[in-house]
Amino acid sequence: MSDSSLSRPVVPGGDPQGPSGSPPGGIAPRPKAARPSAAKLRLKALTATLASVPITLFGLALVTFLIGRVVPIDPVLAIIGDRAPQDVVERTRLELGLDQPLYIQFWKYLGQILSGDLGRSVMTSNPVTQDIARFFPATFELATVAIIVAVLIGVPLGVWAATRQGSWIDQGVRLFCLAGHSLPVFVLGLISLLLFYATLGIAPGPGRQGIYFEGLVDERTGILTIDALLAGDMPAFRDAIWHLAQPAGVLAFFSLAYIARMTRAFMLAELKSEYVTTARAKGLSGVTIVWGHAFRNIAVPLVTVLTMTYAGLLEGAVLTETIFAWPGLGQYLTVSLLNADMNAVLGATLVVGLIYVALNLMADLLYRLLDPRVS
């Protein structure tokens, strides 16, 4: 027996291992499947997200259509009145296609939506799309200012409370959040009007602008503060800001209480992680640990909180807009419902649903920008 044969290891039940390193029996190893690249994973996830949007919108259209057929309001009587002759009622029903099967009515309704036709409002006699385009900018202005104030105060407040867990600061922030999130928003609105307008007289009354400034600023964007700036009318701009302060402040207080509470909960969970302990052992400063490491990791779940809060404000703060006589989408939806204007109600409901879908899609895209691991 040669020396080379003695140097080869022998595996029990198999052949000696060859110099090439092949396994016993000469069976070649099965090649590992190549993992898809990060770019392909991101593209696949984005495609799946975009593909779900048409399905969601189809379901939204179906739900709004069924709502219009389930509610105990006859759309024909809402248009021509309940004292119209029976032959007029039947003729109107035929003209609207309400005598046809539901699936045919739904396909016609879907076709109208795709063409941008949401029907005509009985209350204003205008196309619903035109009414929404006129009322929505006021809600957008109010909601955007409220969410900016809520984020700028609520997020640092939640982080501050989490870094001082158990202290009087933490207890005070928790009590503040509990009050803001528990008090009904209409109570906050009424207290604000009673205190700052009726008692102290330091705030303007309800409405979007003073009587003197009504009609003085040309509507270009529908957002009164921006239109006043574009027109160079600083008195009108100050008046618009002054009227915006109270309703935006009420909504901001209600929203920042929730944002601060969720930020505190996310940050507390993150500060108990092992990497935070390691960072402290390395001597990193508290600011670097909190804002440079922990806050970056809570950014992804915090995006969901901020997005859904903003969506809730954009859908129309019904009670706040009613109390402050703010001519926004919420007030339009409320008045339309009280007047049995179902075209306006369904159109506004559909727009609210589209807002939620769009903001959910934006949040999903932000996830991938903030944290590539989501892909």
Q: What is the pLDDT of residue 363?
A: 81
- The confidence band for 16, taking pLDDT boundaries of 50, 70 and 90, is very low
Q: Are residues 75 and 155 in the same domain?
A: no
Across residues 120-132, what is the average pLDDT? Answer: 86
Q: Are residues 79 and 145 in the same domain?
A: no
Q: Is 146 exposed, middle or buried (0-12, 13-18, 19+ CB in 10 A)?
A: buried
**Alpha-helical runs (H) found in 119-217:** 128-163, 168-182, 185-192
Across residues 16-29, what is the average pLDDT? Answer: 51
- The confidence band for 375, taking pLDDT boundaries of 50, 70 and 90, is low
| pLDDT at residue 6 tops 60 | no
* Among 62-71, 218-227, 314-323, the range of highest mean pLDDT: 218-227
Element holding 312 (H helix, E strand): helix 295-314
Instruction: Among 87, 114, 141, identify where a domain stops.
Output: 114
Judge whether 350 and 118 are in contact, CB under 8 Å.
yes
Coil/strand/helix, residue 73: coil
The predicted-structure confidence for 217-227, as pLDDT tens digits, reads as follows 888 888 989 99
For residue 184, being part of any structural domain is answered with yes
CATH number at residue 222: 1.10.3720.10
For residue 8, being part of any structural domain is answered with no
| pLDDT at residue 7 tops 50 | no
Backbone φ and ψ of 127, nearest 5°: -60, 140
Judge whether 345 and 69 are in contact, CB under 8 Å.
no
Q: Are residues 110 and 145 in the same domain?
A: no
The predicted-structure confidence for 90-121, as pLDDT tens digits, reads as follows 887 787 777 778 888 888 888 888 888 888 88
For residue 27, being part of any structural domain is answered with no
Q: What is the pLDDT of residue 78?
A: 67
CA distances from 189 to 103, 110, 175, 325 (A): 44, 39, 20, 11
d(CA 312, CA 247): 15
For residue 291, being part of any structural domain is answered with yes
Helices (H) and strands (E) in the chain, counts: 16, 0
Judge whether 355 and 158 are in contact, CB under 8 Å.
no
Query: With pLDDT > 70 as the criterion, what percentage of the chain qualifies?
Result: 82
For residue 120, being part of any structural domain is answered with no
Identify the domain containing residue 335 by its residue range.
131-374
| pLDDT at residue 270 tops 50 | yes
For residue 94, being part of any structural domain is answered with yes
- The confidence band for 360, taking pLDDT boundaries of 50, 70 and 90, is confident
Residues listed for the chain:
375
The predicted-structure confidence for 293-312, as pLDDT tens digits, reads as follows 888 888 888 988 998 889 88
Q: Which of 162, 172, 166, 156 is nearest to 273 (CA)?
A: 162
Q: Are residues 310 and 348 in the same domain?
A: yes
CA distances from 43 to 19, 53, 198, 363 (A): 44, 16, 57, 16
Q: What is the pLDDT of residue 5?
A: 45
If one counts every other C-beta atom within 10 angstroms of the C-beta of residue 130, the result is: 13
- The confidence band for 1, taking pLDDT boundaries of 50, 70 and 90, is very low
Q: Are residues 94 and 148 in the same domain?
A: no
| pLDDT at residue 19 tops 60 | no
Q: Are residues 151 and 200 in the same domain?
A: yes
For the CA atoms of 186, 190, 191, 193, what is the dihedral angle to 10 degrees?
A: 140
Q: What is the pLDDT of residue 336?
A: 84
For residue 243, being part of any structural domain is answered with yes
Q: Are residues 223 and 353 in the same domain?
A: yes
Q: What is the pLDDT of residue 152?
A: 95
Judge whether 202 and 186 are in contact, CB under 8 Å.
no
Q: Are residues 136 and 104 in the same domain?
A: no
Q: Are residues 270 and 195 in the same domain?
A: yes
Q: What is the pLDDT of residue 11?
A: 46
Judge whether 218 and 227 are in contact, CB under 8 Å.
yes
For residue 68, being part of any structural domain is answered with yes
Judge whether 368 and 45 are in contact, CB under 8 Å.
yes
pTM for the model = 0.78
Q: Are residues 174 and 270 in the same domain?
A: yes
Total domains, the chain: 2
| pLDDT at residue 187 tops 60 | yes
Instruction: Among 63, 81, 114, identify where a domain stops.
Output: 114
Across residues 172-193, what is the average pLDDT? Answer: 87
Tokens linked to 223: 């957002």
Q: Are residues 137 and 218 in the same domain?
A: yes
d(CA 106, CA 214): 42
d(CA 227, CA 12): 87
Q: Side-chain half-sphere of 131: how many Cα atoms within 13 Å?
A: 28
Q: Which of 108, 351, 158 is nearest to 264 (CA)?
A: 158
Q: Are residues 67 and 180 in the same domain?
A: no
CA distances from 299 to 90, 199, 366 (A): 58, 42, 10
Q: What is the CA radius of gyration of the chain?
A: 31
